[in-house]
Structure 1
Amino acid sequence: MSYLLLTLLLLPLAGSLLVFAWKNSASKFLALGIALAEMFLTFYMLSGFDFKPTVDGVLQNEINYPWSNFIKSNLHFGIDGMTMLFLLLTNILSALIILSSFNEKPGYRNTFYGLILLMQFGLIGVFTAYDGLLFYIFWEITLIPIWLIAGIWGQENKKIQFTTKFFVYTFVGSLFMLVGLIYVYTHSASFALTDLYNADLNASQQTVVFWFIFFAFAVKLPIFPFHSWQPDTYTYSPTQGSMLLSGIMLKMAVYGLLRYLLPITPVPVLGISGQIVMVLAIIGVVHGALIAVIQNDSKRLVAYSSLSHVGLMTAGIMASAILTVKGNLFIEGAEGALVQAFAHGINVVGLFYACDILYKRFKTRDIRKMGGLARVAPKFAVLFMVILLGSIALPLTNGFVGEFILIKSIFDYSTIAAVIAGTTMIFSSVYLFRFYGKAMFGEGDESILSSVGDLTDVEFSVMASLVVFVILLGVFPQPIIEMVGSSLKFIFTSMMN
């Protein structure tokens, strides 16, 4: 048994219970300490991680303990390259998200921080579970804290409407996934991931399972047309809720597509099902970008920007899957999607935090009512610009490598699809530079500008930390590509067998 992984999994759960009981202002420091301990433990595990294991699905830091012989399910956890990537993203961002709230005074603060740690526990479980039933249980665990965070601390006059829509969409999607996993289980030896891969399903059965499981992932990403819950939820949730949803939670679906859906149901990928998903992903890329161009609400603009970017990730994954099932192992699209998933998590958290900083200065999210902040907040102007450049995939920023690989991979699948998907690079420059220009330049209201200052210590710490990752991963992306390579080769080789 790996006690390191067990500690990584259980520390945020124990921490959340402790924070729930810690009913004073010190709860935020306790929550941050636990999140930082998780982050440092993850880096310690990374230091001993074998980046190039044999391509046979071997897990590192493995835990495998039978917990139900009746339903043939094990407490099976482990880490491979793809899991390590998402653990890093989860635990880096969780610490920064908690720190970002230190200038706030949320009501019931111990409950607020306890829910963030509980969600961190659920996310780690999703990314480390190697049993289908266990994966589903942790998938559902993540829904509860984010629903409460959005519902309790969201915008007062919108919270019932958007939290109800969010809960219905995600809960129904999860039930579809459960039905799909149970059906696969009835045709396999157990809920173990390798047994699910080897389930005895014919083409029509795989197609039914494909759509049942895909629906849950399509809602969580989200993919057009299952996205109508997303703009409102991202916009009216508290800033930390928006960060959790966009920075980490949607990556569960990227992970699920690769770890569960495609290896279990490879046959439909080559048929009409795969083509439909590719078309929906490309539509989402353009749809999200076009709507972002005309947005004046800063958070809603970032929400639609995220919709466009996840559409591109999905298209890259499907391009890899389709080309692989045709008979040639092709992991580049999936590699690009994972590099971009990590970059997107960093960038979108930075953008939502920038929206929060702007709201505190101007008391509005309407970018038409902003202006001139660069004159009085030069530190913020520089850091915001770096994060923005990462989001539009400027070379030597974290967004460039993943987006370049994605577009190239989609070209290998279809030139027309790549040309359409590639418009996201143009549109993202349009709406993000428009956002930046409106907020940072222009005349501005002198009565407002004279009373606001540059970044506080907390704001600078969060923004500067994110900028470090934007630059570091833009200059040195190869470690991530090497980290996920063997995982993807195993997954896509499984699809060919």
Structure 2
Amino acid sequence: MSYLLLTLLLLPLVGSALVFAWKNPASKFLALGIAFVQMFLTFYMLSNFDFKPTVDGVLQYEINYPWSQFIKSNLHFGIDGMSMLLVLLTNILTPLIILSSFNEKPGYRNTFYGLILLMQFGLVGVFTALDGLLFYIFWEVTLIPIWLIAGIWGQENKKIAFTTKFFVYTFVGSLFMLMGLIYVYTQSASFALTDLYNANLNPSEQTVIFWFIFFAFAVKLPVFPFHSWQPDTYTYSPTQGSMLLSGIMLKMAVYGLLRYLLPITPEPILGISGQIVLVLAIIGIVHGALIAIIQNDSKRIIAYSSLSHVGLMVAGIMASAILTVKGTLVIEGAEGAMVQTFAHGINVVGLFYCADILYKRFKSRDIRQMGGLAKVAPKFAVLFLLILLGSVGLPLTNGFIGEFILLKSVFDYSGLAAIFAGLTIIFSAVYLLRFYGKAMFGEGDEAILASAKDLSTVEFSVLASLAVFVILLGVFPQPLIEMVNSSLKFIFTSMMN
């Protein structure tokens, strides 16, 4: 059934070309239709996907054709549980992100929607590529459309500065990753993922490669102190650009850590390198949360919140990796990170859309200039609260189980580290409930509130869809855990050998 994966890869690329070519306001409906077909195809593939824990390391829907014997690289794609989770996230969020723009009138709209579909093509390629060179190519493909989206439709007086900074950070990081992968390739039989895993690298070489590749992922996540591009980029990008960046694009780095970095360079994890990454992740948790507390710009609150939540994901992954390389197979931290990756994607997209809705009502992102919206927009108040509570990690919401597993994994490694990591839960409640309280309650401008309306059909459709996932995955998180279990067992077992 490899044709299904081939269709999944090519549909957004072909769709992007069609949308680019159709210079018509109705191009948004074509883009939305293609994105929905992609989503339904993903659900069909999921319904035929075997992710039982007994099928360790088995790929499904595999495509493998030689394309360059000179550099020993194949067009090799496949899906395991970890890939399936992230492809599912990508193809659920993309149609909702497109739909969220239907009340807007962006200039060059066919270009805008074509770039979103082109980015979807790159993301699916990243999550399914099983060849190091192919992974890098798709990694770079995703940079071009998001850079153009931010640069063309971003905030006019800020876009040159923040898009330049974003591009330089991510492009330089990607070059370091390419150099690392090329060196590993020279010590192995080909760019095939299994050959990269078995490369003949001594501990010193592994340490250098670890930092080269980690730098690219640290920038993309981002991990403290490589995060300075993030707040401005998230704040001044158009809402759909912020959604794509935070909801899906940073998940490429979480995936890269688990799929490439840790299995290729397990030795440094036991030494100072593993400790440094864990400490940086915990600093990011606390730093992001503290900065979010004092922010008044709604989008910057969400940006720093994302930095804090990503830090917890990295801390959980590294805690499990260190214990595994020591000789005890522990995958809980990686499981928690993958579950939280999915939950964070849903929640952060919802929060950015809520921030956009607030901006349209109050004509400001400053939460001090908001207030009282709950009494005139009750549907928005309820859906905003559900998505916000998911991000806080309230039990029976999608953010709870991932955070719980992550904190347990960090605690299993170090009680002291878990104390600092646990601050993310306390602080997130502080800054997000402050955000909600300022916007929805209190005394607002009566003139603004008199003209403010509750959710439009488009706004309600997007937020209600996201809220369904917040509740559904909070009540039934087990399918996500089972989906990634066998993949992570295979990866972490390879680190022990």
Question: Shorter-chain TM-score category?
Answer: over 0.9
Q: Which deviations, in whole Å up to 9, do the C-alpha atoms of 1:116-142 show, x marking residues without a partner?
A: 000000000000000000000000000
Distance 2:494 2:32 in 1: 40
Equivalent position amino acid for 1:171 in 2: F
Equivalent position amino acid for 2:425 in 1: M
Equivalent position amino acid for 2:289 in 1: A
Counterpart in 1 of 2:50?
50
Distance 1:51 1:246 in 2: 27
Distance 1:469 1:385 in 2: 14
Counterpart in 2 of 1:344?
344
Counterpart in 2 of 1:192?
192
Counterpart in 2 of 1:258?
258
> Within the alignment, does 1:22 sit opposite 2:29 as a pair?
no
Distance 1:10 1:45 in 2: 15
Distance 1:206 1:55 in 2: 29
Distance 2:53 2:414 in 1: 33
Counterpart in 2 of 1:475?
475
Q: Which deviations, in whole Å up to 9, do the C-alpha atoms of 1:381-428 show, x marking residues without a partner?
A: 000000010000000000000000000000000000000000010000
Counterpart in 2 of 1:62?
62
Equivalent position amino acid for 1:299 in 2: K
Counterpart in 2 of 1:272?
272
> SS of the counterpart of 1:77?
strand
TM-score, with structure 1 as normaliser: 1.00
Distance 2:115 2:300 in 1: 24
Q: Which deviations, in whole Å up to 9, do the C-alpha atoms of 1:429-453 show, x marking residues without a partner?
A: 0000000000000110000000110
Equivalent position amino acid for 2:327 in 1: G
Equivalent position amino acid for 2:471 in 1: I
Give 1:51-450 correspondences, 5 Å limit: 51-52=51-52, 54-450=54-450
Distance 1:53 1:358 in 2: 44
- The answer to whether the Cα contact below 8 Å between 1:55 and 1:490 also exists between their aligned partners in 2 is no
- The answer to whether the Cα contact below 8 Å between 1:55 and 1:489 also exists between their aligned partners in 2 is no
Distance 1:299 1:191 in 2: 40
Q: Which deviations, in whole Å up to 9, do the C-alpha atoms of 1:259-289 show, x marking residues without a partner?
A: 0000000000000000000000000000000
The Cα of 1:171 is off from its aligned counterpart by 0.1
- The answer to whether the Cα contact below 8 Å between 2:53 and 2:485 also exists between their aligned partners in 1 is no
How many residues in Structure 1 have an aligned counterpart in Structure 2? 497
The Cα of 1:192 is off from its aligned counterpart by 0.3
- The answer to whether the Cα contact below 8 Å between 1:42 and 1:91 also exists between their aligned partners in 2 is yes
Distance 2:56 2:460 in 1: 44
> SS of the counterpart of 2:451?
coil
Change (3 A) 1:56 1:486: closer
The Cα of 1:57 is off from its aligned counterpart by 2.1
Distance 2:208 2:60 in 1: 33
Q: Which deviations, in whole Å up to 9, do the C-alpha atoms of 1:98-117 show, x marking residues without a partner?
A: 00000000000000000000
Distance 2:16 2:154 in 1: 21
Distance 1:360 1:320 in 2: 44
The Cα of 1:56 is off from its aligned counterpart by 4.4
Q: Which deviations, in whole Å up to 9, do the C-alpha atoms of 1:79-111 show, x marking residues without a partner?
A: 000000001100000010000000000000000
Distance 2:405 2:3 in 1: 37
Change (3 A) 1:275 1:55: farther
Distance 2:392 2:54 in 1: 36
Determine what percentage of the aligned residue pairs are the same residue. Answer: 87
Change (3 A) 1:56 1:189: farther
The Cα of 1:58 is off from its aligned counterpart by 1.7
> SS of the counterpart of 1:76?
strand
- The answer to whether the Cα contact below 8 Å between 2:335 and 2:484 also exists between their aligned partners in 1 is yes
Equivalent position amino acid for 2:482 in 1: E
Distance 1:362 1:104 in 2: 16
CA RMSD of aligned residues (A): 0.6
TM-score, with structure 2 as normaliser: 1.00
> SS of the counterpart of 2:76?
strand
Distance 1:49 1:19 in 2: 31
Counterpart in 2 of 1:6?
6
Give 1:460-471 correspondences, 5 Å limit: 460-471=460-471
> SS of the counterpart of 1:61?
strand
Q: Which deviations, in whole Å up to 9, do the C-alpha atoms of 1:153-182 show, x marking residues without a partner?
A: 000000000000000000000000000000
Equivalent position amino acid for 1:268 in 2: P
> SS of the counterpart of 2:64?
strand
Which structure 2 residue ranges, 5 or more long, are not aligned?
Answer: none
